[in-house]
Amino acid sequence: MINYILQVILFQVLFLAIYDFFLSKETFFTKNRWYLISTPILSFILPFIKIPTLQRAVSEDFSIHLPEIVLSPDKVIQETSFYQSINYTVVLFWLGVSFFSLLFLVKLYKIVTLISKYEVFKRTGYTLVLLPNQTKAFSFFNFIFLGKKIPESHQAQVIEHELVHSKQKHSLDLLFFEFLKIMMWFNPMIFLYQKRITLVHEYISDEVAAKSETKESYINNLLSNFFQVESIAFVNQFYNQTFIKKRIIMIKKTQSKQINQLKYLLLMPLLASMLFYTSCTSKSNKDKLDQLIQENKQLKESLNAKNRELGVSFMSVNKAPIYPGCDQGDKDCFSKMVQTHFSKNFDHDLSNTLGLDSGKKRVFIGFIIDDEGNVVDVNARAPHIDIKNEVIRVMNTLPKMIPGENNGKKVAVKYAIPLLL
């Protein structure tokens, strides 16, 4: 999951780099809007797309194996407890989600409060909300919020500007990024995306509203009043100090040449490189798995005829074997329990006595949990015969498991575990 998140963030960085360096100065505002909406979605999808020709086929027999067990002689492994079962990363993630969800609800409540508290007038195509003693001007879907202190001579222009936001559903874009901020609150790229698309919204509205008068007049009206800013991220504000200079520059800018649209073709090599990266990443992971497959090849051949008849792939069984104390199908718990068992019973001094380098004592274990829950036919490939014998001894002391089931019948199940001493 962490690898996936890092890929998503990396892709979003690259997409925004293309936008900032090549597209942001162009007047293709609508195209830029869709670019900023589509590329974060693509960044979530691309890591799942693999090009078969860039990947090597992996033997299905060994595609399912337990996570590697890492033993550290210097670390005391305590009994599995409630506190050990807590995944603090998950807890932190959901705390962040809760906080940003609450923040979103507070912002939404402020909007609802303004609508219910002040004067509301139904107009053709929109609803006008008048804010007394204020010069705020912003919109949220079909609601246009207008401060009564805005001079009447400017109110029509402000409303026309906000109507463009309303008609083009710009609020949907902002809400989309609000939800992304909730689910990926730790990703700074989402905040940058929202800032950029908010500015594009203003460019679009300025382009439409400025057609009703000269650009100079529109700019003068834009600067003639200091409109207050409502601190809500998903409303379209008529006035935003941060954006005013950029908006004026873009209003005065000459329309971009149509040939400049070819810049969007930069997406093609970028997407190609991303697909190549995701496929190669997958290939790299598969290379590691292939190494395990190669190491475990002798284990597979050593299984006797009875085991091959009884043995069922972990993925094939309806109910996998259960380690005592674990929930059904919890492979992570199974692995942690085996690790704890090894930490308590394995002779940690043995490998050092044999003079093997620290961190390079890799062992590959194969075993079967039979239809009675017993651990049988343990075999191992190790850098030394004494290590192999010790591993087999420890494996044979594992407790009796709850056997696996397939179609209502208890069956034996094959397992493979890589072990790093």
In a domain, 388, yes or no: yes
The whole-angstrom separation of Cα 399 and Cα 405 is 18
In a domain, 64, yes or no: no
Type of residue at 340: T
In a domain, 248, yes or no: yes
pLDDT at 9 over 80: yes
Q: Domain check: are 141 and 240 in the same one?
A: yes
Backbone torsion region of residue 139, taken as left when φ is above 0, otherwise alpha when ψ lies between -120 and 50, otherwise beta = beta
Do 135 and 150 contact (CB within 8 A), yes or no?
yes
Long-range interactions of 2-5: CB distance < 8 A, separation 24+: 3/281, 4/47, 5/184, 5/187
Q: Domain check: are 21 and 141 in the same one?
A: yes
pLDDT tens digits, residue range 226-240?
444 455 555 665 556
Q: Domain check: are 110 and 193 in the same one?
A: yes
The whole-angstrom separation of Cα 189 and Cα 196 is 11
Q: Which one of 271, 293, 317 terminates a domain?
A: 271
pLDDT tens digits, residue range 201-257?
999 988 888 887 777 777 776 666 544 445 555 566 555 666 778 888 888 888 889
pLDDT tens digits, residue range 80-118?
444 445 677 888 999 999 999 999 999 999 999 999 999
Q: Domain check: are 231 and 321 in the same one?
A: no
pLDDT band at 154 (very low <50, low <70, confident <90, very high): confident
CB atoms within 10 A of CB 121: 11
Q: Domain check: are 234 and 336 in the same one?
A: no
What pLDDT shows up at residue 22? Answer: 93
Q: Which one of 249, 271, 293 terminates a domain?
A: 271
In a domain, 251, yes or no: yes
Report DSSP state, residue 28: -
In a domain, 212, yes or no: yes
* Structural domain of 45: 2-55+88-271
pLDDT tens digits, residue range 121-143?
999 889 999 999 887 888 999 99
Rg (CA), the chain: 31
Q: What is the dihedral of CA 114, 115, 121, 127, to 10 degrees?
A: 110
Q: How many domains does the chain have?
A: 2
